[in-house]
């Protein structure tokens, strides 16, 4: 497994700077590799199911020559059926080896995520917050055993 400890500029050193944001995107790309062996080969929607964890869904929204846009969500069950939360839109830049969380649902459905997001600063820190969420979430998902196996072909 490739580690992100070799990212040359620590995003912890100067949070919210452009350089640290790009390093965070690089770390996101590496961590995506822990879950999906080759994002370029992915198509459609895939689910990863791990005992004791919510199912994780990854869906291709758009594929281009140098980028892939994905949706990533946990699937929760509640009284009204299935809920996707958080709903992240992620753009992967294959040539630059970066992954950027571009958007998230405006108001998270899960109560614990709603409480956490209520304390976050607004638009000025949206990119940083959204990408830190993705970075930590990818680490957590890999740690709990989530993986997406691509069909043999």
pTM above 0.75, yes or no: yes
At residue 125, what are phi and psi to the nearest 5 degrees?
-110, 15
Query: Does position 124 have pLDDT exceeding 50, yes or no?
Result: no
pLDDT at residue 112, as a whole number: 61
Domain ranges in the chain are 37-143
Query: Does position 120 have pLDDT exceeding 60, yes or no?
Result: no
Mean pLDDT of 29-35: 95
Query: Does position 62 have pLDDT exceeding 60, yes or no?
Result: yes
Residues in the chain: 153
pLDDT at residue 1, as a whole number: 57
At residue 39, what are phi and psi to the nearest 5 degrees?
-60, -30
What's the mean pLDDT when you consider all of the chain? 83
Mean pLDDT of 104-127: 61
Q: Which of 53, 102, 90, 45 is nearest to 74 (CA)?
A: 53
Task: Report in angstroms the alpha-carbon separations of 102 from 53, 89, 143, 147.
Answer: 25, 6, 24, 22
Any alpha helices (H) in 1-125, and if so which ranges?
Answer: 18-35, 111-118
Higher pLDDT, 71 or 5: 71
Strand order across the 67-78 sheet: 45-48, 55-63, 67-78, 81-93, 98-104
């Amino acid at each position: 497994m490739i580690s992100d400890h070799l990212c040359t500029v620590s995003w912890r050193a100067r949070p919210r700077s452009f350089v640290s944001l790009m390093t965070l995107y690089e770390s996101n790309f590496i961590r995506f590799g822990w879950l999906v062996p080759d994002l370029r080969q992915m198509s459609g929607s895939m689910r990863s199911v791990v005992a004791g964890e919510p199912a994780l869904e990854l869906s291709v929204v758009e594929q281009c020559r140098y980028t892939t846009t994905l949706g990533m969500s946990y699937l929760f069950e509640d009284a009204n059926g299935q809920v996707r939360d958080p709903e992240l839109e992620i753009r992967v830049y294959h040539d630059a080896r970066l992954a950027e969380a571009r958007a998230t649902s405006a108001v998270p459905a899960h109560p614990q995520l709603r409480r956490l997001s209520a304390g976050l600063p607004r638009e000025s820190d949206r990119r940083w917050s959204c990408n830190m969420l993705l970075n930590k979430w990818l680490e957590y998902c890999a740690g709990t055993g989530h993986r997406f196996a691509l069909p043999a072909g």
